[in-house]
Amino acid sequence: MARQHGDNEPLAFPVLIADIGGTNARFALIPDAYGDLKHFPTVTTSDYPSPLAAIEQAVLAHTSLLPKSIVMAIAGPVDLPPIKLTNAEWVIEPDAMIETFGFRDVVVVNDFEALALALPSLEDKHLVQLGGGEARAHAPRVVVGPGTGLGVASLVSSAGRLTPIPGEGGHVALGPETPEDFALWPHLERFHGRITTETLLSGAGIVRIYRGICASGGLSAEPATPEHVSELAMAGDPAAVQAMRLFCTYLGRYAGDLALIFLAHGGVYIAGGIGPKITRFLTDGHFRTAFEAKAPHQAIMKTIPTPLVTHDRPALEGLAAFSRTPTRFAMSLHGRRFKPA
C-alpha cells in the first residue's frame, strides 16, 4: 500500500498534471520546473473505463516523455482512497497508479482548489470584468464555477504564502427571494430531494429553470439541453430568455453571498465550463445587479470585482504553479499525497 506523505517538498519531474471533471479530463506534461506545458487533447471521461486507461491511451501513447509524478485535480471532495468523483464513474486509486506507471508521487486535490491556485497567474486577456470594483492586493479571493456541477474555493494569503481552501459550496441550500422566485420554486425539479446551488447553477440547472418556467406558465417545454436553452434565448424565446436571466441572477446572488462570507476584496472569479459560453447574458447587468444587492452592504459590494475566467484550461495552470514551486503555497497534503511503500 502507498504511504501517505503530507509535506510540500519538491516533486520529481517530469510531472503529469490532470484536471478530471464530471464530463471531461484534461492532461498536460511539465518537463521540468521551467519548461512549458505539453498539452494533450481533452478527452471525455465516459469514453474510458478508468483514469488508468485514459492516461495510458490519451497521454503516454502520444509522448516519449515518461512522467515521474502526477498531480490531479478531481471534481469532488478528496478523502482517503479510493477517491470517487461526484459526477462521473471514475475512481482514483493511488496504489494502482504507482504500481502501473511507477510514479514517485501521486497528489490529489479538489478541482476548484486547483482553480484557486491559478488565480494569481491569470492574465487580463483571460478575464472579462463583469461590473466594477478593483481587486486589493493580498485580499481573499473566491472562485465559483457552474459546469457539470458547481464548484467553489477560496484563496487566502498569509505570511507571504497562499492557501487554497476547497469547499462543497455546490451543495448548500438555495432559496427563493423575490415574488418571481416564490412562484417558480414549486415547479422546480429537486435533486436528491433538495434545491441546492448546484441544482440550479449548473448545466442541468439551466434546464431545470427553463422547465420550471414552462411548467409555471402552463407551457410545453421543448426537449432541452443547456445549449438549446441558450440558443432559444438568443432567438428571443420568452421562457428561455427568462431562464437565462434567472440563471445569471441566481449566480450573481450566490457569488455575492460568497463575497460577504470571505470579504473577498481580491475578487469573486466566475469560472467553470458554462460562463464563457454565456458571456452575453452575464454582461447584460442582471448578474452584477444581483451580486451588489446585499443590503446593508451595497457599498462594499460595489468595490469587489467579479472577473469571468475565459482561459480554456485554468485548473492546469494552477496545478502547474503548484508543481513548479510547491513551497509557495501553504496547504496540507496529508491524506492527499502518496508515495511508493
Q: What is the pLDDT of residues 32-73, one digit of tens each?
A: 988 889 999 999 999 999 999 999 999 999 999 999 999 999
pLDDT value at 163 more than 80: yes
Are 103 and 155 contained in the same domain?
A: no
Residue 145 lies in a domain: yes
Neighbours of 134 (CB within 10 A): 10
Position 147 in a domain: yes
Q: Is residue 222 part of a domain?
A: yes
Residue 83 confidence class, pLDDT cut points 50, 70, 90? confident
Is 62 found in the same domain as 149?
no
The answer to whether residues 330 and 256 belong to one domain is: no
CATH classification at residue 130: 3.40.367.20
pTM comes to 0.90
Cell readout for 82 is: 479510493
Indicate whether 101 and 127 sit together in one domain.
Answer: no
Q: Is residue 117 part of a domain?
A: no
Share of the chain above pLDDT 70, in %: 97
For residue 118, tell me if it sits in a domain.
no
Residue 14, preceding bond cis, omega within 30 degrees?
A: yes
Residue 247 has pLDDT above 80, yes or no: yes
CB burial class (10 A; 0-12, 13-18, 19+) of residue 150? buried
* Residue 167 pLDDT: 86
Q: Which residue range forms the structural domain that includes residue 159?
A: 123-309
- Residues 154, 268 share a domain: yes
Q: Do residue 291 and residue 142 come from a single domain?
A: yes
Q: Are residues 26 and 14 in the same domain?
A: yes
| CA 238 remoteness from chain centre | 30
Q: Which three cell numbers stand for residue 187?
A: 415547479
pLDDT above 90: percentage of residues in the chain: 78
Query: Residue 28, SS3?
Result: strand
Given phi > 0 = left and psi -120 to 50 = alpha, else beta, which region is 208?
A: alpha
Report pLDDT digits (tens) over 200-220. 999 999 999 999 999 999 998
Domain check: are 48 and 190 in the same one?
no
- The rounded distance, in Å, linking the Cα atoms of 322 and 316 is 10
Q: Domain for residue 303, yes or no?
A: yes
Cell matching residue 337: 499525497
* Residues contacting residue 19 through CB under 8 Å, at least 6 positions apart: 25, 26, 27, 72, 73, 111, 114, 313, 315, 316, 319
Whether residue 116 lies inside any domain: the answer is no
> Across-strand partners of 4?
338
Same domain, 230 and 290: yes
- The enclosing domain of 332 has a CATH number of 3.30.420.40
How high does pLDDT run on average in the chain? 93
**Parallel/antiparallel/unpaired status of strands 24-30 and 15-20:** antiparallel
Q: Is the pLDDT of residue 4 over 70?
A: no
| pLDDT exceeds 90 at position 185 | yes
pLDDT for the residue numbered 79: 74
Between CA 103 and CA 322 the distance in angstroms is 17
Does one domain contain both 281 and 164?
A: yes
Q: In this structure, are 141 and 264 located in the same domain?
A: yes
Distance (Å, whole) CA 295 – CA 124:
30
The amino acid sitting at 191 is F
- The pLDDT of residue 35: 86
158 lies in the same domain as 304: yes
Domain count, the chain: 2
- Evaluate whether 129 touches 120 at the Cβ level (below 8 Å): no
For residue 189, is it within any domain? yes
